[in-house]
Structure 1
């Protein structure tokens, strides 16, 4: 039974995060290379703006803001699941190689299989999922020992090794590609938000609408998996079945996000930790908070990054890494 005080605290935090997200969206809609006056936002949203105002808002700003919000949510939830099933606070889809696997899947298809732009958008999450699943399966196989089960520290170390190896494969692929395609892969590696149009939102949104409720439904299983294996088995949890199901969920969330945002790490590491610090370790409580924190963090990183240097800005992946890398080192030293 969850204490009513903690539930009220969680709801208050969710409300504050929702207000912060709305505030950041409003600020982001007005900031950029082509400035949009804040007193013109509401008229433009309701179809009373000039052609330039509507073009800037609906074709450039709003899709990008929504994509960063959704992708941050997906990465945060993926990190929360990975930390739960591995019992390792350092697990993150970017750090343990899942994002790199998704990137290699996209790169291979993009470089060697011609496809129409419209079709390619909707294939992206699926292609990323295939690459990420293959990577996750290999990491899991190398981390698992028959008599000892899944070893959390071993999983992170093997994941980091796979991440480096896959980055090397990406460099080999780039060396054999045309210049225009090399530019795309380079931007993807830097975590540049490249999917900035409405079709990318429709490609990403169904994964979240399906997998967020599913993960919340499995929250109690995640609580049990966070305990020792004998305890989880003793209460009737089918450990391997639940781990594989939730691992596929985490992979799908991470793959769908990085397929449109590029290689962004550390969101899945930081958001769950911040959420646990606010409302405690129960998955039912901290997962909704982590989802909103992840969306807000990536949106802030992209909004600040694209306005620091004009006209290109600094990629969201680099902005997140500037915060996330020191935090990762802190956690590594602490644990």
Structure 2
């Protein structure tokens, strides 16, 4: 992907190196009933958080997640006792980071990708007579606070609809390459474009309706609904890829990198890697094939109308 020397977004909040975070209890739960929307990631002793007890904890959390149990809620890190809609969470003060453009290469890369998403979604919203409200990208290390609660590197990249911010510990990309065999800058960009897709869903009302509806659903029904929401975010990432290609910034092999990423972080692929078998009723992001298919649909069409996973007969 050609990204150097291009516009970088100024909507970056850089909290790295500031010791931000803390262990206070916060409302919401990532991927559970209320809270942020994240890329699913399994963890094992090969994770970046060293130390025997930490490694063991991460393994347990990964197994619980794959079993369909929200481990962060069990830990109480982000529990509100019952899980109200994300929009009803009690907002706590967030620690502000540096707002100057990142100086490191990794920070400049994500700032460029964020700028791309701003451009494409601003054009799409304007074509429909609306104004795109840009999200903020928060860069952090190890742990931080968000409008959806306390988050750590183990959470993976996520979007918080309460404060309309995307959060990422850039060390995630090292793990994506090393443990999940997903190399390439375009794969990294796909992950960010997926989270921005959740922001688009928040602006268009998809996420608020999802949060309200799943309070009345069983866990299995909520998981099935979540799959549709996540696949739409993949399709929206494909729209970003389509636009980036139209601008002439996609290089040979880039789309294959994104498709490989979609394959490796499918629910079935992660469960097979973590536990050796799959439990379809616990899927909440979609299978590898579904994620590839919906990303490809957005990429080939460039049309948000082709991304209606919510009302599709099947996904």
Q: TM-score, normalised by structure 1?
A: 0.28
Bigger fraction of residues in helix: 1
Q: TM-score, normalised by structure 2?
A: 0.30
Bigger fraction of residues in strand: 2
- The higher radius of gyration belongs to 1
